[in-house]
Amino acid sequence: MKAYSSLSEIKEAIKKGETSCRELVEFYLRNIEDNKHLNAFLDVYAGEAREHAKQVDKKIAEGTAGKLAGMVIGLKDVLCHKDHGLQCGSNILEGFKSQFNGTAVERLIKEDAIVIGRQNCDEFAMGSSNENSAFGPVLNAADNSRVPGGSSGGSAVAVQADMCLVSLGTDTGGSVRQPAAFCGIIGSKPTYGRISRYGLVAYASSFDSIGIFSKSIEDNALTLEVIAGKDEFDSTVSQSEVPAYSQKLQKKDQPYRIAYFRNTLEGEGLNEEIKTSVEQKLQWLRDQGNTVEAVDFPLLDYVLPAYYILTTAEASSNLSRFDGVKYGYRSTNAVNLETMYKKTRSEGFGTEVKRRIMLGTFVLSASYYDAYYTKAQKVRRLIKDATDELLSSYDFIIMPTTPTTAFKLGEHTADPLEMYLADLYTVQANLCGLPAISIPNGKDSAGMPIGLQVVASAFKEDELFAFSKYMMET
């Protein structure tokens, strides 16, 4: 069977009798088996997916199937899926099973998507290379000596190597867009609050967003349309209506107004080949009659520091619940309550998670709170105001998704600061709560994929998808 790259192709093939959900599930299961060495899946629900496929095939035959019939999906290991394992790539949740479905997962299943498995990721979604998982790293399918990006590395590789059609990941600072760029696929994060976070294990609650990996813009748009929208279980979710994104992919008639940051494109640290690929795209946009302008954004120097102060602060609070009492792992070496807490957390969490809990606790400590946490909140506001202001005169901001293409395993593990630089261009959208997407934009001379990032104003996902489709059709 050939690999399909969109649900509409699949639906067409099912209609013509060329395939069925059962055959699709077999195809993906075979690919998962053949690509085991990539370590993308932590759990594969073969029996269940086969059974579910039979039911969906029956519904299709009867004309009662949901919008996502024919879509086989994978879930990052931070999303609650009732009665299935959930470990956030960590030993501290050893043996834990979800008691309920997260809202996004529930909505996908309701529309007849078939869940094929649970995907590897950096522990508690902290990382940029998928090397922080307690279950070992995920390998990039384009070159097995390179990382897939993180933290949703397993979810990206699963789509890259046709182990499922669509994956749900999460993006707190780039964890969907950055691995999408490294793996040559599409990765989007919507506006903060567009998708309910109910059933998503929190890393940094004011940044966290579910994000979507796919090979086609249509599938990305359709998946968002299904999972977005108000939800009584998340008080931060937006009440505004969800447009039918998949029906609004037509480019607008007037030329677009696009900004790019001079200091990004001309700044140090940006790989030359990525720079060239962005410049070529900008030139193409100009040639098409769009307005493309360079702007200065001096606050760019502060996006990473603000992000890492605020997210570690939130993480230190969110992760305090993993104490050996309520969930998963409990140390057996403890002699009293206090050592039980200490040993459970010391043994259960990995190095990067502990580093962030300590950093976060430090920036929130009474004597340093104002110097770090309060200041970073103020900086966040300045960045948000400046970005919103810019987007009031332009439709989109275009940036590289990443400063480099996928790097070698182990290349940045010795120095956490070096690893944090991988998020240089992605964290701004999360600091500002804005929708952003990474689309494939060529390859470097080593054959590794390059991503192009587009950021839009809040709740302009429809325009973001239409514009991305327009750019991908060249």
Which residues make up the interface to ligand GLN (CB under 6 A)? Answer: 125-128, 151, 170-175, 203, 311, 423
Q: Which residue from 469, 471, 470, 452 is spatially nearest to 216, judged by alpha carbons?
A: 469
Q: Which is nearer to ligand GLN, 170 or 191 (CB)?
A: 170
Cβ-closest position to ligand GLN: 175
Contact 74, 81 (CB under 8 A): no
User: What is the bridge-based pairing of β-strands 166-170 and 186-189?
Assistant: unpaired
Looking at the Cβ atoms of 71 and 121, the one nearer to ligand GLN is: 121
CB of 6 or CB of 172, closer to ligand GLN = 172
Of 343 and 355, nearer to ligand GLN (C-beta) is: 355
> How far is residue 474's CA from residue 471's CA, in Å, rounded to a whole number?
6
Q: Which of 20, 76, 133, 277 is catalytic?
A: 76
From residue 280, give the alpha-carbon distance in Å to each of 100, 275, 396: 47, 9, 17
Query: Least distance (Å) from ligand GLN to the CB of residue 460?
Result: 21
The least CB distance from residue 354 to ligand GLN, in Å, is: 14
**Strand (E) or helix (H) holding 157:** helix 153-160
Beta bridge partners of 399: 453
Tell me how far, at minimum, the Cβ of 36 lies from ligand GLN, in Å: 25
**From CA 449, how far away is CA 109, in angstroms rounded?**
31
Choose the catalytic residue: 90, 128, 133, 151: 151
Instruction: Return the number of the residue (170 or 453) whose C-beta is nearest ligand GLN.
Output: 170
Q: In angstroms, what is the minimal distance from the CB of 359 to ligand GLN? A: 11
**141: buried, middle or exposed (CB in 10 Å: 19+, 13-18, 0-12)?**
buried
- Please choose, from the candidates 315, 322, 361, 365, the residue with its C-alpha nearest in 3D space to the C-alpha of residue 344: 322
The least distance separating ligand GLN from the CB of residue 28, rounded to whole angstroms, comes to 25
Residue 411 and residue 259: Cα distance in Å, rounded? 33
Q: Which is nearer to ligand GLN, 4 or 307 (CB)?
A: 307
The position carrying tokens 């990539």 is 38
Are 388 and 381 in contact, with CB atoms under 8 Å apart?
A: no
2 in catalytic set: no
Residue from 188, 172, 127, 114 nearest 154 by CA? 127
With beta carbons less than 8 A apart as the criterion, state whether 210 and 195 touch.
yes
**Which residue type does 402 have?**
T
Q: Which is nearer to ligand GLN, 120 or 172 (CB)?
A: 172
Phi-psi region of 63 (alpha: psi -120 to 50; beta: other; left: phi over 0): left
90 within 8 A of 134, measured Cβ to Cβ: yes
> Is 175 a known active-site residue?
yes
SS3 label, residue 62: helix
d(CA 114, CA 134): 27
Least Å distance between CB 24 and ligand GLN?
A: 29
How near is the Cβ of 415 to ligand GLN at its closest, in Å? 14
- Euclidean distance between CA atoms 190 and 258, whole angstroms: 19
Residue 355 in contact with residue 416, Cβ under 8 Å?
A: yes
Q: Is 76 an active-site residue?
A: yes
In terms of CB distance, is 19 or 152 closer to ligand GLN? Answer: 152
Please give the Cα distance from 126 to 139 (Å, whole number): 17
Catalytic residue among 175, 188, 196, 468: 175
Q: Two tokens at 70?
A: 């024919």
Whether 317 and 283 have beta carbons less than 8 Å apart is answered as no
Which two structure tokens, joined as six digits, stand for 323? Answer: 């104490």
Q: How far is the CB of 433 from ligand GLN (least distance, A)?
A: 14
Our CB check for ligand GLN shows the closer of 150 and 324 to be 150
Task: State the DSSP H helix or E strand holding residue 454, giving kind and residue range, or none if neither.
Answer: strand 449-456
Which residues are catalytic, by number? 76, 151, 175
